Amino acid sequence: MPDIQQRVYNRLPVWGQNVAVSAYGLVIKHRRYGGEFQRYFHELMDSQWFSKDEIEALQRRKLKEIVRWAYEQVPYQKRRFDRAGIDPYKVECIEDLKELPVMTSQDLRRLGRQLVARNHKGRLYKTYSSGTTGTPTCTYVTADDLRRNYAFAARSLTWAGIPLTRHRMATFGVRMVSPHKRSAPPYWRHDVVADNYHFSIYHQSERTLPAYCRQLSKIRPMHIRAFPSALHVLCSFMKKRPEIPRPPAPVAIITSAETLYDHHRALIEGMLRCKIYDEYGCNELSLLATQCDGGSYHLNS
């Protein structure tokens, strides 16, 4: 959230902040799940049962499509192919691209909008990497790109037994939903559009965590999405204070954005009495790896 918007948000009463969070939730719902989302989702639900040969055939077809599209619509990519002596119309498999230089994150930052296709439709949205290589990288995406990405994410939720339909959930993420200076509950805000309770990870302490436990017990979320470290703090407190009632077990917990350590998993699953499904994604929308019920990570690329 830009600084000026955050300052305005911080001045609102709690009910006004709930309205703001819900309004943003409505925007996000359309951006992620509008347009062709349903078609992408159902295609993925079908293709997950493909044989190895069918998946490889689909990958080759998609590769040829994207290579030719990049050559025709992105002038910089056309120059790269021409310099490497690669005919995009003869590319049949990934091995045919071995002479194409690998693009680095420095290239992405330097080139910026030069990598945007000429025929892109609609508004462009900026996404930023987490900066694990030192400097965050900006990537431009369309609403359709976002919907394709969230179709993969929605499919992985079904592996955890979580329906695509609206249901109550709790999120422990990076969003500053409760102002830093707040010293009393509630430390959460409710997006009524998605029925999603956003819990502040910045207010967790021995003093405040009883309120977190009471609220989770009250709302009974079907699933929880969280940074592993945030849930580890909560569950460590619950273990230390057994007299505080534990919330009902959700169907599943989805963790992301940080490394999920084995001892964190064991504690969280033990205290909340349900399974964790970890995922690894990137804001460039190029890769998503998610766990299935068997614990294996599956690449959705």
pLDDT tens digits, residue range 74-133? Answer: 999 999 999 999 999 999 988 989 888 888 888 888 888 888 999 888 888 888 776 555
Look up residue 193 and give its two tokens. Answer: 């559009």
257 closest CA partner among 154, 160, 172, 149: 172
Would you say domain 161-274 falls under CATH 3.40.220?
yes
What is the per-residue pLDDT for 212? 97
Q: Report angle CA 82, 80, 148 to the nearest 5 degrees.
A: 120
Residue 53, classed as helix, strand or coil, is helix
Residue 225, classed as helix, strand or coil, is strand
User: CB neighbours of 68 closer than 8 A, spacing ≥ 6?
Assistant: 88, 89, 91
Q: Evaluate whether 125 touches 142 at the Cβ level (below 8 Å).
A: yes
Can you give the pTM of this predicted structure? Answer: 0.86
What is the per-residue pLDDT for 58? 93
Cβ burial 259-281 (10 Å sphere, 16+ → b, else e): ebeeebbebbbebbebbbbbbbb
Is the four-CA dihedral 288, 172, 218, 272 of positive or negative sign? positive
Residue 252 or 286, more confident: 252
What residues does each domain of the chain span?
38-142, 161-274
pLDDT tens digits, residue range 20-41? Answer: 999 999 999 999 999 999 999 9
Look up residue 291 and give its two tokens. Answer: 């766990």
pLDDT tens digits, residue range 64-76? Answer: 999 999 999 999 9
